[in-house]
Chain A
Amino acid sequence: MTGKLKRSLIYWAILSPLMVVILFPFGVMFVTAVRPRAELFTYPPTWGFSEFRWENFSEMWVKTNFGGALLNSLYVSVAATAVALLLSIPAAYAMSRYRFAGKGAYRTFLLMTQMMSPIVLVLGLFRLMMSLGLVNDLNSLVLTYAAFNMAFTIWMLQSYFNSIPRDLEEAAWMDGASHLTSLVRIFLPLAVPAMVVTAIFTFINSWNEFVLALTMMRSSEDFTLPVQIYAQVAGRYQVEWHHVMAATVLATVPVAIVFSWLQRYLIRGMALGAVK
């Protein structure tokens, strides 16, 4: 027992630098968010605060138009996730189950798109959205987020699809199911864990995306959360740091909710496994 305790302590000691790096910004963010305005710039900096001000959040909500930006972000992230999944499931299925000319090239192409940072493409994308008349339209973000995430989602789904035995679908066909029926009733239920993982990934990526949102959205009522929070800092005479930090705290909440809600599917999916 003591040996085990000792080992645990050593492991935590090794992990602690990492923990500090991860948790420090959260600590600063949280402490700043709940402080009264007067204590923002106390020197030397402390972790304490004289009063836990919930009002910071409500003031911030009104002042920064947080609600509008939250809805924009939710719309863009949910829609981008849906579009990415709807398009990648058939693509991944085809890559996993069928042989066709150019399959290897297609896989390489997908990988290569992942090697480019969106920022180098911003100008081109902006011109593309101009010609489509989508600038200052949230749907431009839906399209680009879905597109940028699809390379990953197709790879991820394909490798999971490969692990679902072909026999299961063949058994369903022998049982009298059409391709579509076997896909919907046998294949997709088994692929749920992979779909959940890719959905979480796409949602979080879209939620946090900044550069494209900043470029495409011109008017403040269409801003997503990252841009809206940035707008509270950039180009102001006075930055209300406690409001900025309150907004960032709130902005992390939906991601946390999505993750904790969907992660039970992850665990269930791992337990399903292959039947031998």
Chain B
Amino acid sequence: MSSVTIRGVKKKYGAMDVLHGIDLQIRDREFVVLVGPSGCGKSTLLRMIAGLETISGGDILIGNRVVNDVPAKARDIAMVFQNYALYPHMSVYENMSFSLRLKRMAKDMIDRKVREAAEILNLSKFLERSPRQLSGGQRQRVAMGRALVRDAQVFLFDEPLSNLDAKLRVVMRTEIKALHQRLQTTSVYVTHDQIEAMTMADRIVVMNAGKIEQIGTPLELYDTPANLFVADFIGSPSMNFLRGKLEQGAVVLPDGSRLAASGQGAAGQAVVFGIRPEHLALATDGTGLAAEVEVVEPTGANIQVYARVAGMPLCAVFTERHDFRPGQTIHLIWPEGKAHLFDDATGHRLQGGAN
């Protein structure tokens, strides 16, 4: 096990910059998730750590060793690929033991390690099968087993769950997390799914357009997003944004409604007021923010209401079963300290937030 240090790493394809100087310190035993929309450079960064992509600038260190020019096979890193990349002409056993056979490890030692990994992953019954005789979830586990037998310094995961159906994804998510808690191997996990990121990560790195937007624990990102991008990306349904102007300790919306806020901005500054759908509650006394209901979506566990405030869309989630009708006007309130305030021009969080 080992730490991974990424210092000013850049990637260019010809004239196109894909990564613009990434700095990231991944601690020993940590589970770090790189998350972002497709094309943000997260997979490229992972493949650079793996040694499958060249580095255009900066340094990558595994432990204390600079690995910029070390080929993939000598980096002692294991990787789980999105499409599993199982060797189709080999049995599960051969797939899992391939790396050990390359190292010329003793036969009985290989056997013990493979069976141990198979035991952990519930694959003992399938060792003689070929990959095409396995279900998606089993193939996924074989891919993990192949990484597991290695005792590698670092595990890399490249969207490993995206080919599974929704139910299995949730199961495997938990399995991977449990596995990490047991093995404590430094792991870097790439996904575009913010729920995967939130549930699995020790720390999340949110990336966008080749840059890191924010690094933090899941709850840090949820509670204090550094900018509009992170605020929008983390959480489902996403945070509501109401655009307005800052005036005497309040955000004034285009229709004149005032939302109390204590951001450090100049008077008249264009700001974005952010509030998460799950933090909204119904005001019983008719005070609070007026919103016109448009669509009501019950999910069973809760009710999602899509409404409009001063012409801007707003979503609210209630766990109680209210009876909403489209066209109805509801009044919303939120607990103090749950609202966020961002500069509309730069997207940055304004210190002090809103309330």
Specify the chain A residue showing the minimal Cβ separation from B131. Answer: A275
B139 within 8 A of A: yes
A55 within 8 A of B: no
Contact of B85 among A171, A177, A178, A273 (CB under 8 A): A171
Does A173 lie within 8 Å of B102, measured CB to CB? no
A276 within 8 A of B: yes
A167 within 8 A of B: yes
A-B contact list, 18 entries, CB within 8 Å: A165-B85, A168-B87, A170-B72, A172-B87, A173-B51, A173-B71, A173-B73, A174-B73, A175-B150, A176-B99, A176-B103, A178-B73, A190-B88, A272-B88, A275-B83, A275-B85, A275-B88, A275-B131
A170 to B81, CA, bound (A): 9
Within 8 A of A (CB), among B151-177: 163
A178 to B73, CA, bound (A): 7
Asked whether A167 and B85 contact (CB < 8 A) given A175-B102, A275-B132, the answer is yes
Does A173 lie within 8 Å of B84, measured CB to CB? no
- Kindly list chain A residues whose C-beta atoms are within 8 Å of the C-beta of B84: 275-276
| Residue among B85, B98, B146 having the largest count of chain A Cβ atoms under 10 Å | B85
A196 within 8 A of B: no
Bits for A238-276, please: 1 = Cβ < 8 Å to B, else 0. Answer: 000000000000000000000000000000000011111
A261 to B307, CA, bound (A): 70
A173 to B84, CA, bound (A): 14
B86 within 8 A of A: yes
Contact of B86 among A173, A177, A178, A275 (CB under 8 A): A275
B77 within 8 A of A: yes
Asked whether A175 and B98 contact (CB < 8 A) given A186-B87, A273-B88, A275-B131, the answer is yes
A186 to B146, CA, bound (A): 15
A44 to B14, CA, bound (A): 77
A189 within 8 A of B: yes
Does B73 lie within 8 Å of A171, measured CB to CB? no
Within 8 A of A (CB), among B84-115: 84-89, 98-99, 102-103
Q: How many residues of B contact A (CB 8 A)?
A: 29
B50 within 8 A of A: yes
A181 within 8 A of B: yes
Specify the chain A residue showing the minimal Cβ separation from B147. Answer: A174
Asked whether A174 and B50 contact (CB < 8 A) given A190-B88, A272-B89, A275-B86, the answer is yes
B78 within 8 A of A: yes
A272 to B88, CA, bound (A): 7
Nearest CB of B to A151, in Å = 29
Contact-residue size bin, chain A (C-beta under 8 Å from the other chain): 20 to 34
Number of A-B contacts (CB under 8 A): 72
Asked whether A181 and B50 contact (CB < 8 A) given A174-B72, A276-B163, the answer is no
B79 within 8 A of A: yes
Contact of A168 among B51, B85, B163 (CB under 8 A): B85
| Residue among B52, B79, B88, B89 having the largest count of chain A Cβ atoms under 10 Å | B88
- Kindly list chain B residues whose C-beta atoms are within 8 Å of the C-beta of A275: 83-86, 88, 131-132, 139
Nearest CB of B to A209, in Å = 34
| Residue among A165, A172, A174, A189 having the largest count of chain B Cβ atoms under 10 Å | A174
**Top 10 nearest A-B pairs by Cβ distance?**
A175-B99, A167-B85, A171-B85, A173-B72, A174-B79, A275-B88, A176-B73, A176-B102, A167-B81, A189-B89
Bits for B182-209, please: 1 = Cβ < 8 Å to A, else 0. Answer: 0000000000000000000000000000
Within 8 A of A (CB), among B114-144: 131-132, 139
Nearest CB of A to B143, in Å = 8
Known A174-B77, A176-B103; further 12 A-B contacts with Cβ < 8 A: A165-B83, A165-B85, A167-B81, A167-B85, A170-B79, A174-B52, A175-B99, A177-B98, A177-B102, A273-B88, A273-B132, A275-B85
- Kindly list chain B residues whose C-beta atoms are within 8 Å of the C-beta of A190: 88-89
- Kindly list chain B residues whose C-beta atoms are within 8 Å of the C-beta of A171: 79, 81, 85-87, 146
Within 8 A of B (CB), among A185-212: 186, 189-190
A191 to B191, CA, bound (A): 32
A178 to B71, CA, bound (A): 9
Nearest CB of B to A160, in Å = 14
Nearest CB of A to B15, in Å = 15
Does B83 lie within 8 Å of A167, measured CB to CB? yes
- Kindly list chain A residues whose C-beta atoms are within 8 Å of the C-beta of B74: 176
- Kindly list chain A residues whose C-beta atoms are within 8 Å of the C-beta of B83: 165, 167, 275-276
A150 to B71, CA, bound (A): 33
